[in-house]
Structure 1
């Protein structure tokens, strides 16, 4: 995804996972470019899991929701599990009120919980360095 201003998204590698953060609202063309970039990186990096952080978004429309579902399904077909994190409360209320179907899309509260979900699904029984302390 090429931009002339601040980065709209970032995709970082952390061990066998990719962490993709959406920093601002994306139009349909930008969302589609993000989808293609992320799916390409899954193969190139041989990623086993993907976390998509949408915490910066105060709106998630039907196209965005459908694109996230598509990313998750394509990633699954390429051998990676996807977890979407950071859905804001108002966004979640709006999605439910509008009847947006997230299908089997996995979600978690934040990045830490998203990584924990991936650890449990991809390497069951493995202890994680992100274990919570109480």
Structure 2
């Protein structure tokens, strides 16, 4: 199964809606990084609202994907983490290190646009906030 990656101007949006196997998580990471490089994306939103469980491998891969995306030039926000998922990750000692998180997609896009604007880049999804 491939997770769709949508383009919104110079931002990529991906929403993980189902539990993934380890192989699917690794394919997701590869797909996201290639998509960022292909369009020279300035931002990436990883939306995980539908996930009721995030195991340590998936958490590490999401964290690594976000850090890799930042290394190649994209700002990253993970949004929609459920409180129970956050609690479980912390109890496992597996928080998201160096990754911005928000409650929902709307906040995620707003935060991403603000981060891009602070760098001096512009985004097509919310130019008014980039002033």
Measured against the shorter chain, the TM-score band is 0.7 to 0.9
Show the 5 A alignment for 1:120-131: 120-124=114-118, 127-128=128-129
Q: 1:10 aligns with which of 4, 10, 18?
A: 4
With structure 2 as the length reference, what TM-score do the two structures score?
0.87
Corresponding residue for residue 38 of structure 1: 32
Runs (5+) with no aligned partner, structure 1: 130-134
Higher mean C-alpha displacement, 80-89 vs 120-129 = 120-129
Corresponding residue for residue 74 of structure 2: 80
With structure 1 as the length reference, what TM-score do the two structures score?
0.85
Q: Per-residue CA shift, 1:1-52, capped at 9, x if unaligned?
A: xx4xxxx522100011000111100011000000000100001111000000
Q: Segments of 4+ in structure 1 off by > 2 A?
A: 124-129
Q: Secondary structure at the match of 1:23?
A: coil
Superposition RMSD on alpha carbons, in Å? 1.7
Contact 1:18 1:50 in 2 (8 A): yes
Q: How far off its partner does 1:101 sit?
A: 2.8
Corresponding residue for residue 100 of structure 1: 94
Q: How far off its partner does 1:77 sit?
A: 1.3
Higher mean C-alpha displacement, 97-106 vs 25-34 = 97-106
Aligned length: 123
Structure number with the higher helix fraction is: 2
Higher relative contact order (CA 8 A, sep 6+): 2
1:119 aligns with 2:102: no
